[in-house]
Amino acid sequence: MREKTETVLSQIGRRDLKPKKFVISVDMLETANSYDDKVALVRMLVNEDSRRVANVMRSWIRRDLSL
């Protein structure tokens, strides 16, 4: 069984086994039904691109402090 698995893996190639990246859109946040759904989407977004989320929050804070 292990030999078959190794053969299949060598035929497919490792690059084909990478998980596809999940894209979170603004529409998903707007159409989320419940608060829990929105929190789950935001958590996924932070896990995907935490630097981008941090930059957005920094810009919000800067804008609020300048008012």
User: What's the pLDDT score for residue 20?
Assistant: 67
User: What's the pLDDT score for residue 61?
Assistant: 94
Please list the pLDDT of the chain residue by residue as tens digits (67 residues): 666 666 666 666 655 666 667 777 778 878 888 999 888 888 988 988 899 999 999 999 999 998 7
Both tokens of residue 40? 């789950």
Which pTM was predicted?
0.53
CA dist 3 → 7, 8, 27 (Å)? 6, 9, 46
Domain range annotation of the chain: 19-66
